Amino acid sequence: MPKVELHVHLEGSILPETLLLLAKKNNVTLPAKSIEEIRKWYRFSSFDHFVEVYFAICSCLRAPEDFELIVFEFLKNQARQNIKYSEVIFTPFTHVKRVSFDEQLAAINKAREKAEKEYGVTMGLVPDLARNMRPVEESLKVVDWAIKNMGNGIIGFGLGGPETGNPPELFAETFARAKNANLPALPHAGETEGADSVWGAIKTLSAKRIGHGVRCLEDPGLVKFLRENQIPLDVSVTSNVCLGVADSIENHPLPELLSEGLFVTINSDDPPMFNTTLTEEYLKIAKTFDFGKETIKQLALNGVKASLLPGEEKLKLTSLFEKEFAELGKELLGRN
Ligand code: HPA
Ligand code: ZN
């Protein structure tokens, strides 16, 4: 089925075999030396443990061509899954000691353009901040750079990393600059922290969408606000299970979010780190929650609607989705 993906991290999408290759090329010693060891390394005991592994992965990116390689592979994989368009988060400040912001962007754009031509799928870039970065003032440099490159592939500005102890309010001035420049705010919130963090993302950062946001359910007033304003939540079910946000897929609050009338999209977050893909996310939710074709199609269309694409692009994608879903319907009928 056709899909878009609105919440997926570039560094968290590096395939295990590519990570091993990059570590070797750049003389980085990882605690895992084979695909099997990487699989084991990707079992997370806590969110902080996940972040530690994430930074170790980032340390394997040391040259512009490393970015080219992972972007090209990323889009190839999205195309294989019939993901027509992706909004891709990356964390430029994490790499800046090794590759400058401009070099990162040039390399990403070079591979993006090549892969877009070759595979016929597209992507937009969402640089984000690790919310535990200090001094916080350094984040002003990141946002100013992102604003300068709005015509150059950058479509939004994010906030990720450990939510506990690092509330959105720390980055008020940074996101005020983004807002002034009409650069949409796409912060993570309501993942390992509760409603206060989501309120902060909305009121202080002017979030256009919330990354995760699943813990909004702890505050009925927040649920009402999110429903009335139809603020989209980028939901990633397997990520939530792997990081202890939900204790199992069966107990994930996705059905409750939907029955509350919230605007939900389905995402893979860091697919190889959680041993998943976007295709598998849709299969898992359909099976676990017994969602029918109409619900699945609606969730896929929500992705188009919640994206940052211009209106006419959304219209084009929506009719393409309608056409492909209708063909799928015929194919399924033909099999009966
Ligand atoms: N939350 C916060 N930061 C992240 C995540 C996440 O799920 N994935 C990659 N960075
Ligand atoms: Zn994320």
The CATH number of domain 3-11+66-335 is 3.40.50.300: no
Q: Which residues are catalytic?
A: 191
188 CB near ligand 1 (under 6 Å): yes
- The pLDDT tens digits for 79-116 are 999 999 999 999 999 999 999 999 999 999 999 999 99
pLDDT reported for residue 133: 98
Which numbered ligand comes closest to the C-alpha of 11? 1
Q: In sequence order, which ranges of the chain are alpha helices (DSSP H)?
A: 16-25, 35-41, 47-58, 64-80, 92-95, 101-119, 138-148, 172-180, 195-203, 220-229, 237-242, 254-259, 278-289, 293-306, 311-335
Q: What is the mean pLDDT of residues 153-167?
A: 98
- Whether residue 251 has pLDDT greater than 90: yes
Q: What is the mean pLDDT of residues 21-29?
A: 98
pLDDT reported for residue 335: 61
Percent of the chain with pLDDT over 70: 99
Pocket test for ligand 1, best of 50, 88, 164 (most atoms within 8 A of CB): 50
From ligand 1's centre to the CA of 296, what distance in Å?
25
- The pLDDT tens digits for 26-69 are 999 999 999 999 999 999 999 999 999 999 999 999 999 999 99
Q: How confident is the model at residue 329 (pLDDT cuts 50, 70, 90)?
A: confident
128 CB near ligand 1 (under 6 Å): no
pLDDT reported for residue 332: 72
From ligand 1's centre to the CA of 315, what distance in Å?
30
- The pLDDT tens digits for 184-236 are 999 999 999 999 999 999 999 999 999 999 999 999 999 999 999 999 999 99
Residue ranges of domains in the chain = 3-11+66-335
| Average pLDDT along the chain | 97
Global pTM?
Answer: 0.98
**How far is C-alpha 137 from the geometric centre of its chain's CA atoms?**
25
| Three-class secondary structure of residue 4 per DSSP | strand
pLDDT reported for residue 129: 98
From ligand 2's centre to the CA of 15, what distance in Å?
17
**Taking ligand 2, which is a single-atom ion, which protein residues have CB atoms under 5 Å away?**
269
Q: How confident is the model at residue 331 (pLDDT cuts 50, 70, 90)?
A: confident
Which numbered ligand comes closest to the C-alpha of 239? 1
Which numbered ligand comes closest to the C-alpha of 234? 2
Asked if 49 and 58 count as a contact pair (C-beta separation under 8 A), the reply is: no
pLDDT reported for residue 330: 84
232 CB near ligand 1 (under 6 Å): no
- Whether residue 127 has pLDDT greater than 90: yes
From ligand 2's centre to the CA of 265, what distance in Å?
13
For residue 239, the ligand 1 atom closest to its alpha carbon is 7
Residues 6+ away with beta carbon under 8 Å from 34: 20
- Residue nearest atom 9 in ligand 1 by C-alpha distance: 9
